[in-house]
Structure 1
Amino acid sequence: MRKWALSCALLLVLLLTTLPDPAKKLQVNAEESSDEVGDFPKVEEKLGAVPHGLSTDSEVVQRESESISRKTLRNSAEKFEFQAEVSRLMDIIINSLYSNKDIFLRELISNASDALDKIRFLTLTDKEALGEGDTAKLEIQIKLDKENKILSIRDRGVGMTKEDLIKNLGTIAKSGTSAFVEKMQTGGDLNLIGQFGVGFYSVYLVADYVEVVSKHNDDKQYVWESKADGSFAISEDTWNEPLGRGTEIKLHLRDEAKEYLEEGKLKDLVKKYSEFINFPIYLWATKEVDVEVPADEESSEEEESTTETTEEEETEDDEEKKPKTKTVKETTTEWELLNDMKAVWLRNPKEVTEEEYAKFYHSLAKDFGDDKPMTWSHFSAEGDVEFKALLFVPPKAPHDLYESYYNANKSNLKLYVRRVFISDEFDDLLPKYLSFLMGIVDSDTLPLNVSREMLQQHSSLKTIKKKLIRKALDMIRKLAEEDPDEYSNKEKTDDEKSAMEEKKGQYAKFWNEFGKSVKLGIIEDATNRNRLAKLLRFESSKSDGKLVSLDEYISRMKSGQKDIFYLTGSSKEQLEKSPFLEQLTKKNYEYLMQYLMDYEDKKFQNVSKEGLKLGKDSKLKDLKESFKELTDWWKKALDTEGIDSVKISNRLHNTPCVVVTSKYGWSSNMEKIMQAQTLSDASKQAYMRGKRVLEINPRHPIIKELRDKVAQDSDGEGLKQTARLVYQTALMESGFNLPDPKDFASSIYRSVQKSLDLSPDAAVEEEEEVEEPEVEEESGKAEEPEHEQYDKDEL
C-alpha cells in the first residue's frame, strides 16, 4: 500500500513538472485558438517498433507527459483551409462508391519513388545531400500497426519543407486538380487520378485521418495532418522519431478498410502495381523460422537411460557432454523485400513477355486501366553514343495533348544516366509532335555530375534524339504494316494471318487518337517529312469510308495522271457536293480530302484552285475564242467585286460557274478559318486571300444564253444584274462568304418579282395605325383578384 501511494505521489510530481509554463505558452491568435484540431488517435512512435505494455510506473508517467506535450503543440499548430478545388476533389473521393480502393497504395509508392529520384539527382552535384547511415539508404518502407489500425509508408527521399507541405497538399491550386475534378464530374475513372498529379488524395478512399511527417535538408521536421474536413494543420514535429530526411505518411484506416492491415494483401498490391519501381520496397513482415532451443532435462535423462552402453559411448562420456537442443517454430519480424525485378529496359527484349511490357507501361504511365499500349519498341544503340530505350504508344491520347501542345514543360519520356533518373523535362529528346509517346531512355554516355541545363546542351543528346525519332517512326510504320486492314495478307502463312487478325483496326485507332500529331510533324519536321507522309491516312472518293494511304492512292491512279487531287472542307458531305469535283467524278478520277505538298514524285493539286489539269482538251482554244466577248464583258461588269479574270472551265459538268482562287492564295475553307480569328488583320487577309477567278461552263444553257444576250445588247442593266446574281450564287456555292448578304437578298427578291410579273415599283402595303386605349391608373393598391381575396378572408 505504501509503495502504491509513493508511486502515485511520484506520478503527480512529474505531471506537474511537465505542464507548460504559462509564460512560455505558444502564442496563438484568437481565430486559431478557437478551432482546435481535436484529440487524434495515438500513433506508434517508431517505425518498426513493438508496442509497449504498461511495465513500470515510470514508463506510464513518461508517456502521459509526452501525450500532454503533444496535445499542447497540436493545439498551437497553424490551421489552413483547403483550396476550393482540393476540397471538391476530396469530397468526390470520400463519397466515392468506387470499388477499387487499392489505388491509394500505388499512388503513395509512386510519389515516394519520385522523391527518391529527386534526392538521388541532387547528390550528383552535392554529395552531402544524401546523408550517412540509414538516411543514405534510398528505399521505401511499409509498416502496419493492427492494434491502432495504422498503415505507414516511409521513404528517404528529398522530403518537404513547411512551405512544400502547404503548397503541395492543400492551398495552392494545381492545374491537374481542376482537370481531374472536371473529368470526374463528366463520368471519368478515378483509376486515372495519378495522371493528373493529385494521386495523394486517394488516401481518403481508405483513411479518415492522415498524418504526413516530413523532413527536408533545408528545414525542420514538420507534421501535416487532416481529417478531410475542409482544413489541415501543420506543426513542428517534436514527438515522432527523427526521420533524418524523407517523408512518412500514416493512414488511420476506416473500419471497412481493415483488409489493408493484412500482409498478404499489401504484398499482392505491390506486385500488381509497383513491381517495376526503381527502388527497393520493404514490408515489416512476420514470418516463422526454425530455432534451436535447449531440450528439457527430463527427456534428456530418459534418452540416456534407454541408450545402450558401448565402449565407444564410454569413451564419449569421458569428454565434455554437448548440450541437448531441439528445433521449434518461432515468429519474428523483419524487413522483407517485395520487388526484386530487374529494370525492364535493361533486359534482353527476347526475355521480356508481353504481359511484363504491359505492366511496366501501366506503372510508367500511371494508367491502370485494362487497355494495353498499342505497340512498343525496345532497343539499344551502340557506338559513340550508347543508350537503351523503351518507347510506348498509349492506347488513348492524353486529355490535354493538343490543348497544351506548345506550352507543355513536361515530357512523357524519362531520361536516366547509368540507371540514375535525371529528368522528365527534356523537350529536346523528342519533337513536339511525338510528345504523346511514353518511355524511358537510359544513357551510358552522358555525364552524371553536371547540371540539368548543361546536360541539355550536350552534343550526345542530338544523336540520341535523331535515333529516337527514327525508331519511333519505324515503330508506328510497323503498327500499320501489321494491321490487315492496311495491307494485304495474301502471302502470309496461316499462323501469321491469325496473329495479324488480333491487330486488325489498330492503325485506324492510332490515327483517330494521334493523327493530328502526324500532320503537325509534316509541317514541323522537314527532315522526316517523307517518313511521316507514309503514315498519313485520308478519306477518298473511292475508299468507301475507309482511310487510305498515299501509296494505295498512287496504285489506283489513272494512266497519264501526274498529280494527286485533293479538296478540303468542313465535312465529307459538303465536299462530295462540291461543284469543283464534277469533271473528276465524271471521268472517274480519285481525289483525297486532305492536304500535303508532294509525295514521292507526285504533286498535290487542290481542285478548288486555278490550274487544274485533266488532260488536253482539243476544243478549249475554240471555246475561249467563242466566249471571249462574254468573258471580257463579265469581268468588266464585276469590276467592283475584285474578280481578276473570267475563264473557260475544264472542271465543271452540271454547274454553270464557280469561283476559284489563285494557286498560292487561301482556299475558301482557309479564308473562313482566318476570318473567324479574333486578332485577324483585314489588310493582311486581303493580301493573303489571293486573286479570284470566275470559271464558266461553256456547255451550260445559262452561260450560252448569257453569251447570246451580250452579243445582242451588252449595255442592258437587267443583264448586268443577272450576271452579278449568277456570280454571287457561284461565290456562295464555292464556299466563300458573301461580302454583302443584303445586296444578294435584294437581287433574289427582284428576280422573284420579275418571275411573278410584279412591277419593280410595287409598294409594300402600309399597316393601319390603331389607337390604343389609355389605361387609367388608380391611386392606392390595385384591386386584387377575387380568388386571392377569398383566400385571405378564409385566413
Structure 2
Amino acid sequence: MFICSKLSVVSFSLCYMANNFITRITFFAFVCVQKQHPNNRKEPEKYKSEFFNEYSYFLKEGICQDYEFQEQLSKLLLFETSKTLDGELSSLDEYISRCQISQKKIYYLQAPTRQMALDSPYLEAFEKSGKEVLFVYSAIDDFVFSNLTKYDDRELISAEKGGLDLDKETDEKDEDEKKDDKDAKKDDAVTTGLNQTEIDHFCAWLQSDALGSEKIKSIKSTKRLGASPAIIIDHESAAFRRMMKMVESQGGTSNIPPLPKQAMEVNPEHELIVGLNALRESEPELAKVCAEQIYDNCLVAAGLMEDGGRSMLGRLNDILLCVVKKGNEDGNVNAVVEDIADSEDKKSSDGIAVEESDKDEKKDETKEKKDNK
C-alpha cells in the first residue's frame, strides 16, 4: 500500500513537471515566434515557407494545451484556403480581411489533401455564395479549432455542419444581380426538382425502407448542394476517428465504437435523386441498392468509410451489371458511355477553370500592388 501511494505521488509530480515544462516551452516559442510574425517582419514569405513549416505543429500543440497564450498563438496560424493557390498559406487575419462585410463566421473544411477538399460536396455551397473556406489537412487542426471555437469574435464553423444559411451572410446584391437570380430560379423551377410532397415521401422511404433506422437518424432536403445528390452532416471528425484507430492499433486493441446513426441531407433538384424517386416505384429493389450506394458515397465524402470502400465493391459491380444489361437491351450502351465521359470532362474542365481564375486574380492583385507602389 505504501509503495502504491509513493508511486502515485511520483506519477503526479512527473505529470506536474511535464505540464510545467510544456508551459515554459510554449512561452519560449511564443516569444521567439512573435519576432517572426508575418505582420511584424520584413520577410513574411520566409516565415511562411521556412519557420512555420518547421514549427507549426508545436504552435498548434501550444494552442491545444496552453490557454494563457492561445489567443496570441492563434494569430500565427497559417492555412491554405479555397481562394489561394496550391501551397499558398494565409493567416486568419488575412482570411478575415478578404471576407464580405456581412460575414461573421470563419469556415473550415477538413480533408486529407487540397484536391479532395476542392472536390468535396461540402464546398459547393461556399463556391455558390463566393465565401472562402480554410483547408485543414491534419488531425491536430481539428483539435485546434475545437479548442479555439472563436477568433476575433468570429465563430469557427466546420463546412460539414448542418443547417448552414450562407445567404444571410452575403452582402446586398445590386438590382441586376437580383434580377439574374430570379430568372435563374424561374428556369430551375421549370426543369428540375421534386415538390415538397414528393420530398417528404422520398425522405421517409429512404430512412425507413431503403437504408433503415439503424443507419439513419434523420433525413431532410437541402438547397446547399449543386453537383452532389446528398451529404451527411454534423458527423464526428473523420481525422479524429482515424487517429483513434491508429492509437488503438498501436496498443493492440480495437475498442473504437461503430459509426453512430447519421443525419443526411439530399438535393431534391439533383437528377439522381429525381430519378431514384421514380425508380422506387418501378424497380424497388434496384432503387434500394442505389440508395445504399448513395449513402456509402456520403460516408466516403465525409472520410468515414471504415474499410476504405471495400465493402461496397460487390454492390458497385451489381449496379454496373444492371447498367450494361439495360444498355444492351435498349441498344444505348454508347449513349451511356458518352454521358459518363461528358460528366468526367465537365468535372475536369471546371477544376481547371477554377485554378486559372485564381491565377488571374493573383496576377491582377500583384499588378495593382506594384502600381500603388
- Which category describes the TM-score, using the shorter chain as reference length? 0.5 to 0.7
What does residue 227 of structure 2 align with? 654
Deviation, 1:515, is 0.8
What does residue 576 of structure 1 align with? 118
What does residue 30 of structure 2 align with? 473
Q: In the superposition, relative to structure 1, how do residues 647 and 509 fare at CA in structure 2: closer, same or farther (>3 Å)? A: same
Equivalence map 1:589-738=2 (5 Å): 589-594=131-136, 595=141, 596=145, 597-616=149-168, 626-636=198-208, 637-639=210-212, 642-662=215-235, 666-677=236-247, 678=249, 679=251, 685-686=257-258, 691-710=261-280, 712=281, 716-738=284-306
Quick one: which amino acid aligns to residue 657 of structure 1?
A
Q: In the superposition, relative to structure 1, how do residues 652 and 484 fare at CA in structure 2: closer, same or farther (>3 Å)? A: farther
Deviation, 1:730, is 2.8
Equivalence map 1:533-548=2 (5 Å): 533-544=74-85, 545-548=87-90
Tell me which of the two structures has the higher relative contact order, counting C-alpha pairs closer than 8 angstroms and 6 or more residues apart: 2
Equivalence map 1:239-250=2 (5 Å): none
Q: In the superposition, relative to structure 1, how do residues 753 and 508 fare at CA in structure 2: closer, same or farther (>3 Å)? A: closer
Equivalent pairs counted in the alignment come to 275
What does residue 214 of structure 1 align with? none
Structure ID, larger Rg: 1
Deviation, 1:645, is 1.5
Q: Which has the higher strand share?
A: 1
Quick one: which amino acid aligns to residue 96 of structure 2?
I
What does residue 365 of structure 2 align with? none
| Structure 1 counterpart SS, 2:35 | helix
Alpha-carbon displacement from aligned partner over 1:44-71 (angstroms, at most 9, x marks no partner): xxxxxxxxxxxxxxxxxxxxxxxxxxxx
Quick one: which amino acid aligns to residue 655 of structure 1?
S
Q: In the superposition, relative to structure 1, how do residues 730 and 427 fare at CA in structure 2: closer, same or farther (>3 Å)? A: closer
Q: In the superposition, relative to structure 1, how do residues 693 and 623 fare at CA in structure 2: closer, same or farther (>3 Å)? A: farther
Deviation, 1:514, is 0.8
Q: RMSD value over aligned CA atoms?
A: 3.3
Does the CA contact (< 8 Å) of 2:80 and 2:135 recur in 1? yes
Structure 2 residue 320 is matched with structure 1 residue 752: yes
Alpha-carbon displacement from aligned partner over 1:296-322 (angstroms, at most 9, x marks no partner): xxxxxxxxxxxxxxxxxxxxxxxxxxx
Q: Distance in 2 between matches of 1:427 and 1:680?
A: 26
| Structure 2 counterpart SS, 1:505 | helix
Q: Distance in 1 between matches of 2:198 and 2:311?
A: 32
Deviation, 1:478, is 3.1
| Structure 1 counterpart SS, 2:41 | coil
Q: Distance in 2 between matches of 1:647 and 1:532?
A: 40
Quick one: which amino acid aligns to residue 233 of structure 2?
V
Q: In the superposition, relative to structure 1, how do residues 432 and 588 fare at CA in structure 2: closer, same or farther (>3 Å)? A: same
Equivalence map 1:253-268=2 (5 Å): none
Equivalence map 1:136-175=2 (5 Å): none
Q: Distance in 1 between matches of 2:252 and 2:151?
A: 32
Deviation, 1:672, is 2.5
What does residue 7 of structure 2 align with? none
Quick one: which amino acid aligns to residue 473 of structure 1?
F
Q: Distance in 2 between matches of 1:559 and 1:515?
A: 30
Q: In the superposition, relative to structure 1, how do residues 616 and 683 fare at CA in structure 2: closer, same or farther (>3 Å)? A: farther
| Structure 2 counterpart SS, 1:542 | coil
Does the CA contact (< 8 Å) of 2:106 and 2:133 recur in 1? yes
Quick one: which amino acid aligns to residue 58 of structure 2?
S
Structure 2 residue 102 is matched with structure 1 residue 560: yes
Deviation, 1:632, is 1.0
Structure 2 residue 24 is matched with structure 1 residue 482: no
Does the CA contact (< 8 Å) of 1:579 and 1:734 recur in 2? no
Structure 2 residue 25 is matched with structure 1 residue 434: yes
Q: TM-score, normalising length from structure 1?
A: 0.32
Deviation, 1:640, is 6.1
Deviation, 1:517, is 0.7
Deviation, 1:676, is 3.0
What does residue 220 of structure 1 align with? none
Q: Distance in 2 between matches of 1:430 and 1:564?
A: 32
Does the CA contact (< 8 Å) of 2:162 and 2:233 recur in 1? yes
Q: In the superposition, relative to structure 1, how do residues 525 and 680 fare at CA in structure 2: closer, same or farther (>3 Å)? A: farther
Q: Distance in 2 between matches of 1:532 and 1:740?
A: 36
Alpha-carbon displacement from aligned partner over 1:747-778 (angstroms, at most 9, x marks no partner): 222222222228xxxxxxxxxxxxxxxxxxxx
Q: Distance in 2 between matches of 1:592 and 1:547?
A: 10
Alpha-carbon displacement from aligned partner over 1:623-674 (angstroms, at most 9, x marks no partner): 6554111111101121165221122234321111122334xxx222322332
| Structure 2 counterpart SS, 1:737 | coil
Deviation, 1:583, is 1.8
Deviation, 1:605, is 1.0
| Structure 2 counterpart SS, 1:674 | helix
Structure 2 residue 70 is matched with structure 1 residue 529: yes
Does the CA contact (< 8 Å) of 2:107 and 2:157 recur in 1? yes
Alpha-carbon displacement from aligned partner over 1:731-761 (angstroms, at most 9, x marks no partner): 2233222569565222222222222228xxx
Q: In the superposition, relative to structure 1, how do residues 701 and 527 fare at CA in structure 2: closer, same or farther (>3 Å)? A: same
Q: Distance in 2 between matches of 1:614 and 1:569?
A: 21
Q: Distance in 2 between matches of 1:587 and 1:541?
A: 13
Q: Distance in 2 between matches of 1:671 and 1:638?
A: 23
Quick one: which amino acid aligns to residue 543 of structure 1?
T
Q: In the superposition, relative to structure 1, how do residues 734 and 507 fare at CA in structure 2: closer, same or farther (>3 Å)? A: closer
Q: Distance in 1 between matches of 2:104 and 2:206?
A: 33
| Structure 2 counterpart SS, 1:724 | helix
Quick one: which amino acid aligns to residue 434 of structure 1?
I
Equivalence map 1:33-48=2 (5 Å): none
Alpha-carbon displacement from aligned partner over 1:249-302 (angstroms, at most 9, x marks no partner): xxxxxxxxxxxxxxxxxxxxxxxxxxxxxxxxxxxxxxxxxxxxxxxxxxxxxx
Q: Distance in 1 between matches of 2:265 and 2:321?
A: 29
Alpha-carbon displacement from aligned partner over 1:409-452 (angstroms, at most 9, x marks no partner): 9xxxxxxxxxxxxxxxx8677535836xxxxxxxxxxxxxxxxx
Q: Distance in 2 between matches of 1:735 and 1:659?
A: 11
Quick one: which amino acid aligns to residue 646 of structure 1?
I
Overall identity of the aligned pairs, in %? 26
Q: Distance in 1 between matches of 2:217 and 2:104?
A: 28
Q: Distance in 1 between matches of 2:315 and 2:60?
A: 43
What does residue 448 of structure 1 align with? none
Quick one: which amino acid aligns to residue 658 of structure 1?
I
Give the unaligned 5+ runs of structure 1.
Answer: 1-408, 410-425, 436-468, 487-503, 759-795
Q: Which has the higher helix share?
A: 2
| Structure 2 counterpart SS, 1:570 | coil
| Structure 1 counterpart SS, 2:167 | coil
